[in-house]
A = this chain, B = another copy of it.
Amino acid sequence: MEPIWARIDGGFWHAYQTLVRERVLPHQWKAMNDEIPGAPKSNSLQNFRIAAGLARGSHEGMVFQDSDLAKWLEAVGYVLMGDSEGAPAVREHAREAVDLIAAAQQPDGYVNTFFTARQPGRRWTNLRDAHELYCSGHLIEAGVSMFRGAGDGKLLAVVRRLADQIDATFGVEEGKIRGYPGHEEVELALIKLYRLTGEQRYLQRARYFIDERGRNPNFFESEAKAPGFVSIFGAKPLDYYQAHLPVREQREATGHAVRAMYLYTAMADLVLETGDPSLREACDRLWESTTGRKMYVTGGIGSSAVRESFGADFDLPNDTAYAETCAAIGLFFFASRMVRIHHEARYADVMERCLYNGILSGISLDGESYFYVNPLEVVPAVCDRNGTYQSVKYRRQPWYGCACCPPNVARLLASLGEYVYHLQGDTLYADLYHEGILSAELGGLPVTVRQKTGYPRSDSITFEIEPASTAEFTLALRIPAWCRKPALALNGSAAKAAAGADGYTRVRRIWRKSDRLQLTLPMTAARIYADPRVRADYGKAAIQRGPLIYCLEEVDNGPALFRVRLPSNAPLAVEERPDLLGGIPTITATGKSPPPGSSGDGLYSERNSDLPLVDRPLLFIPYYAWANRAPGEMLVWVRE
């Protein structure tokens, strides 16, 4: 099932995609070439040169450094889709990168700079730690994207040979390694390659990796006992790798959050391809665990910095949050598959929650600095001085020694056109509102569907339907859960807008040229409450308007944000601020706070020196836009 693509050509996301093409990809190319003064070294390109025999030296950086370049190339493929003559400098860099990867490929198809340059005899001997299959997966995704977007078959040929080598190496058949990766990724990549090429072996190998995972005796335990096994990151509990149980028996999202998401995404992809009911049930359970009990209001997941992992149900601390950018991207992927399985808007609601909040916070407005960790509460002095907060940064960084997130944001933003619609039979589901155009076959005829909207800054979306001639099909429009009173007009006349049980409002008709459908999703600034089992949010509210979660920043509101109280009846006013942070709707309110600089009768006393409270004007900005001005405190959940 190949995805359908819309070209995003205006509005909020087009600006980000332009940023990716013009600023992000060139910046990241420099970073991967170690050309950004003061930033941690990447060595990504240099490692490929060394592995290809084109440079001398030793492999440097993380064992999975190849994947940064792969994700960057994948992003390039999306950028060039429908614009294969654009971005000449980026195309030239991409050509250089593809040539290097091809040159570093071994005669049997194997590609991995760490093992090729450093430990050629030790390939595939540490699946638990060494990330070879993970890097291979990202290379495969890059090959698919570069072929689709740029029509470049060179990398596709490389990654097919790589996939063939993997297929020949792993499996239950005699003489093969009966293992699976410590960091999932190759599974979903092989399914992508299968979808592009139609080659069943790739689908079967993905299914093998999924089915084999977590069986008894445990592969990682056996592998670690092999003579000469060399640990890289040390043994961790098996649920860290989601290898504690066969995947169909897993009921709770556990361990490393990114790994979990890439696995669940692949499982859902396999359901889409095979319909496997027990696998679908596992996906449903893991979805409920992830999004019903372990997700931040921003769509961030993985609450613990220690092992970048899920915690217990409802353990969602705001100031020590990990909420890795990659994990929110992974949840977006998982959600995008779930909506295609179930055709229920609530899955796309999560895509939207992740995208506008926990993913977009991972990149600065200028595209050249990044967050790996996305806290919901920050006090800089505490982060500077208390090692418990050592992962939490309050300034985005130009690069990271472990730089998985920056190119992951780039590829996700560049690929958004793949996720805005999905198709089931002759029903076209509009999942993410955007300005752009889709060309698809609907009701047996070529149709273009154009969306025009300033969403999420404005609340109105116009659909212009242009069938080649008249065509009967259904347009299903997602009514976000946050929207109480949607309105719909067909060619100027009001139509039924209420969503069905699946969260979509449907318009089925014989569409004619120039049909116009106008959807209005009134956005009111609202208080959001967490389930009272969430300790960190208890007695607090978050502010949301449309898909955007808001926050307070010190630069607007002064320090000691933890003392702000927002009375439950304080009006929330929306105020457009074209001057601020690229033009954003802000939300203002009058809160309460003790006077600034108030202090106690000593550190502890019987007098509550907090009182009396005085009015405090508050300015909320969208969470994704924080940390683009003077560094300071930030707070999402405000006490009520």
Per the bound structure, the CA–CA distance linking A562 and B534 in Å amounts to 10
Between A303, A385, A532, A538, the greatest number of chain B beta carbons within 10 A of the residue's beta carbon is seen for: A532
How far is B336's CA from A55's CA once the two chains are assembled, in angstroms?
Answer: 66
Q: Is A606 an interface residue (CB 8 A)?
A: yes
Q: Which of A310-337 contact B (CB under 8 A)?
A: 310-313, 315, 317, 320
Report if A216 contacts B (CB, 8 A). Answer: no
Interface 1/0 per residue, A597-640 and B, CB below 8 Å: 01110111111111000000000000000000000000000011
Closest to A606 in B: B526
Contact at B529–A382, with CB atoms within 8 Å?
no
Beyond A320-B320, A607-B529, whether A379 also contacts B535 by CB under 8 A is yes
Decide: A528 and B381 in contact? CB cutoff 8 A: no
- Chain B, Cβ-Cβ closest to A484: B606
Residues of B within 8 A of A600 (CB): 529-533
**A457 contacts B by Cβ under 8 Å:** no
Is A306 close to B, CB under 8 A?
Answer: yes
Question: In the complex, are the beta carbons of A306 and B606 less than 8 A apart?
Answer: no
A473 to chain B, nearest CB (A): 32
Interface residue A490 (Cβ < 8 Å from any Cβ of B): no
List of B residues within 8 angstroms of A385 by Cβ: 304, 310-312, 315
Q: Does A274 have its Cβ within 8 Å of any Cβ on chain B?
A: no
Q: Assess whether A610 is in contact with B388, with CB atoms less than 8 Å apart.
A: no
* Minimum C-beta distance from A589 to chain B (A): 16
| Residue contact A604 to B531, C-beta cutoff 8 Å | yes
A562 to chain B, nearest CB (A): 5
Residues of B within 8 A of A534 (CB): 603
Assess the A529–B315 pair: CB atoms within 8 A: no
Q: Is A386 an interface residue (CB 8 A)?
A: yes
CB pair A528 B610 closer than 8 Å? no
- Write out the residue numbers on chain B whose beta carbons fall within 8 Å of the beta carbon of A478: none
Docked CA distance A390–B610 (Å): 33
Q: How far is the CB of A253 from chain B (nearest CB, A)?
A: 11
Question: How far apart sit A385 and B312, CA to CA, in the bound complex (Å)?
Answer: 5
A122 at interface, CB cutoff 8 A:
no
Residues of B within 8 A of A388 (CB): 304-306, 317, 320, 388
Size bracket, chain A contacts? 35 or more
Q: Which residue of B lies closest to A311 (CB)?
A: B386
Instruction: Name the interface residues of A412-430: CB closer than 8 Å to any CB of B.
Output: none
- Quick one: which of B320, B538, B599 contacts A610, CB cutoff 8 A? B538
Contact B529 A291 (CB under 8 A): no
Are A606 and B528 neighbours in the complex by a CB distance under 8 Å? yes
Closest CB of chain B to A537's CB: distance in Å? Answer: 9
Q: Which of A14-22, A159-167, A292-300, A578-586 contacts B (4 or more CB under 8 A)?
A: A292-300
Give the residues in chain B near A384, CB-CB below 8 Å.
312
Chain A stretch 256-313: residues in CB contact (< 8 A) with chain B: 291-293, 295, 297, 303-307, 309-313
Q: Which of B295, B390, B529, B604 contacts A528 (CB 8 A)?
A: B604
Query: Across the interface, which residues of B come within 8 angstroms of A531, CB to CB?
Result: 599-600, 602-604, 609
Tell me the residues in window 327-381 of chain A with beta carbons closer than 8 Å to chain B beta carbons: 379, 381
Q: How many copies does the complex hold?
A: 2
- Interface members, chain A 551-569 (any B CB < 8 Å): 560, 562-563, 568
Which B residues touch A311, using CB under 8 A? 382, 385-386
> Would you call B386 and A304 a contact (CB within 8 A)?
yes
Query: Which positions 205-246 of chain A face chain B at CB distance < 8 Å?
Result: none
On whether the beta carbons of B528 and A382 are closer than 8 Å, the reply is: no
A483-507 interface with B by 8 A CB criterion: none
Over the window 507-548 of chain A, the binary record of Cβ atoms lying under 8 Å from chain B Cβ atoms (1 yes, 0 no) is 000000000000000000011111111110011011000000
A109 at the interface (CB under 8 A from B): no
- In the complex, the chain B residue whose C-beta lies closest to that of A321 is B388
A594 contacts partner chain B, Cβ-Cβ < 8 Å: yes
- At the interface, yes or no: A387 with Cβ under 8 Å from chain B? yes
Known: A388-B317, A563-B538. A532 touches B312 (CB 8 A): no
A598 vs B529: C-alpha distance in the bound complex, in angstroms? 13
Q: How far is the CB of A484 from chain B (nearest CB, A)?
A: 9
In the bound complex, residues from chain B placing their C-beta under 8 Å from that of A608 are: 527, 529, 541, 568, 640
Bound-complex Cα distance A467 to B155 (A) = 98
Q: List 20 A-B contacts (CB under 8 A).
A: A291-B603, A292-B602, A303-B386, A304-B385, A304-B388, A309-B386, A309-B387, A310-B385, A311-B382, A312-B384, A315-B379, A528-B604, A530-B600, A530-B603, A530-B604, A531-B609, A532-B560, A532-B600, A533-B560, A535-B562
Known interface pairs A528-B604, A530-B600; 17 further A-B residue pairs with C-beta atoms within 8 A, sorted by A's residue number: A292-B603, A297-B604, A313-B381, A315-B386, A320-B388, A526-B606, A529-B605, A529-B608, A531-B602, A531-B604, A532-B598, A532-B599, A532-B609, A535-B562, A538-B563, A538-B610, A539-B639
A-B pairs, top 8 by smallest CB distance, nearest first, are: A306-B387, A531-B600, A311-B386, A312-B385, A312-B381, A304-B386, A529-B608, A535-B562
- Chain A positions within 8 Å of B, measured between CB atoms, are 291-293, 295, 297, 303-307, 309-313, 315, 317, 320, 379, 381-382, 384-388, 390, 526-535, 538-539, 541-542, 560, 562-563, 568, 594, 598-600, 602-610, 639-640
